[in-house]
Structure 1
Amino acid sequence: MAVPLRKLFVVGGSGFLGEWTKRSSRRHGPTTPARPADSPATAWQSNVEWVRGDSLRPETYAAHLQSCDAVVHTVGTLLEADYKRLVKAGSLCQAASGLIKSTPTTASVTYETTNRDTALCVADAAAQCPSVRSFVYISATDFLPLIDRRYISTKREAEVALIRHQEFRTLIFRPGFMFSDQQPFTVPLAQALDALGRLKRAAFGLVSRTQPLVASGLGTPPLHIDVVAQAVLRGLLNSKLNGIVGPDGILELSKGFKPEGPLESP
């Protein structure tokens, strides 16, 4: 059963997945994301109301939640480093710069605050708004090699806390590594992960392309962020959908949609 989606509140709207969620949702109704003041506006943004806020400070955005039907939380970090510099890198040298410029002294850039606490703060604020019927949290299916296990443990902690909310329907999307041809460094990394995953699946004689392998994200194929964004919107429009949506569910929801660029999903 389809439900109307009149206004969507995207947390992290100027980030990696947030941008694509807004673009994909433009035909469904107004969107209220956060955006840096110096970000240039484009034609598709005419249906977007921009809000500058801090996820950990509800007073900076709570008023804008009042008229929204759903919230999509896209804030997260794969590394406790300059991750935005990493995903926007156009070369390996630029990517290495993002890794080197780690900020351990910056308390806000931690797995706990970024992957968990921002979602819980926004959810608590959304729970005070009767108009909010759905809350989407972008989680992950598993941890990746060489990535701190706190990356996935903080996401699981957020999931448990969000599901306890009875004020709205909670949808938890668990994609594998997400990539986009608009974020150059993510493409070769996705290709490498996909190739390694195929080799490992062949070695273990596995058929499913989305089955986790030996506690490693290598068993889950990378997903284009357009595919994830489409799945999120279709999930919000389906009132019968609830709880956790894994890689297979994401592909099923986005069926018929093919993004431009390499590594298109089947």
Structure 2
Amino acid sequence: MAASAAAKRLVVFGGTGFVGSGIAKEAVKRGFDVTCVTRGGAAPAHLLGDAERGWASEIDWRRGDALRPETYRDAVRGADAVITAVGRLPMPSLTREEIVRDNGETNVAPGRVAMALGVRRLVVVGASIPPFVPGMAFGWGFKDAAYKVGKANAERFAREEFVGSGGDGDGDGGNNARGAVVLKPGGVSGTRWVDGVAVPLYVAMAPLGFALSKLPSALDPLASLAPVSVECVARAAVRGATEDAYAGKFTVIENLELIRGFGGD
């Protein structure tokens, strides 16, 4: 499916993170102009040293704090789409309020700026959380599934405010109506960098993901728990930000659809 000719400039929040950097890389590969808003305002060394060299240097890196709109308003101005891939795992050292905020408002605030500046497309990287995961899907002491609450807040904003006030909600609003896409990956497989050290998550997750995703349709509830590659999530994010099929409506792409529908170019 061809990308809209009008969607040329994408602004990514969380572009130095595991999923966000994958999205930025995919967007550059597909020929879009990419701006990444990060607290540091520069590409980390491991991205500049990517084996597929050059892509990180093609990005316009801007300094900004997702919770402080005044720091990135100019970066968002004139964008065709905003992609938010900001999140924080529910570590014991964090308060419940911090976890909710850092998975919810960090994605909502850029969306509100996008609305104010007339951006027509929003993509939010949410999460599909298995019901048996403590601290994320159900109560974990005082944290009380704060991660899930934050992600749900971001999804609700995309559906009820970004599209609800600027799209028709039925998919007939056309390219001039606001559209939003929420991706809901489960575990994401790939190479995650932690303090300058590459952690090859794919070694354990990729074989499991492949096996589960090939189960017959009768076992889709089990297959939906399969890890998804970061490349699949990135393809879905960029297509959601640029293709006409996602204009003027609210779309949720669940984990199994990410695996089966975005596995290739």
- Give TM-score scaled by structure 2 length: 0.73
Q: 122, 126, 142: which one pairs with 1:135?
A: 122
- Specify the code of the residue in structure 1 equivalent to 2:253: V
Q: Distance in 1 between matches of 2:201 and 2:156?
A: 29
Deviations 1:103-141 (A, max 9, x none): 336x88x321111111111111110112x1110011112
Deviations 1:165-208 (A, max 9, x none): 2342110111111021355253355259649x85xx99xxx733
**Match status 1:32 vs 2:35:** yes
- Specify the code of the residue in structure 2 equivalent to 1:184: V
User: After alignment, is 48-57 or 246-255 more displaced?
Assistant: 246-255
Question: 1:1-266 counterparts in 2 under 5 A?
Answer: 2-4=3-5, 5-26=7-28, 27-35=30-38, 36=40, 39-40=44-45, 42=48, 43-77=54-88, 79-81=89-91, 102-104=92-94, 110-130=98-118, 132-143=119-130, 145-149=133-137, 150=145, 151-164=147-160, 165=162, 166-167=165-166, 168-182=178-192, 183-184=198-199, 186-188=201-203, 190=205, 194=209, 198=212, 207-208=216-217, 211-213=220-222, 219-241=224-246, 242-257=250-265
- Specify the code of the residue in structure 1 equivalent to 2:190: S
Q: Percent identity?
A: 24
Distance 1:46 1:255, change over 3 A: same
Q: Once superposed, which parts of structure 1, at least 4 consecutive aligned residues long, lie more than 6 Å away?
A: none
Structure 1 unaligned blocks of 5 or more: 82-101, 258-266
- Give TM-score scaled by structure 1 length: 0.73
Contact 2:90 2:135 in 1 (8 A): no
Aligned residue pairs total 223
Distance 1:191 1:227, change over 3 A: closer
Structure 2 unaligned blocks of 5 or more: 49-53, 138-144, 167-177, 193-197
Quote how far apart the aligned CAs of 1:154 are: 2.3
Name the SS for the 2:150 alignment partner: helix
Higher strand proportion (structure 1 or 2): 2
What RMSD over aligned residues (CA atoms) do the two structures have, in Å? 2.9
Quote how far apart the aligned CAs of 1:254 are: 1.9
Contact 1:234 1:253 in 2 (8 A): no
Contact 2:10 2:81 in 1 (8 A): yes
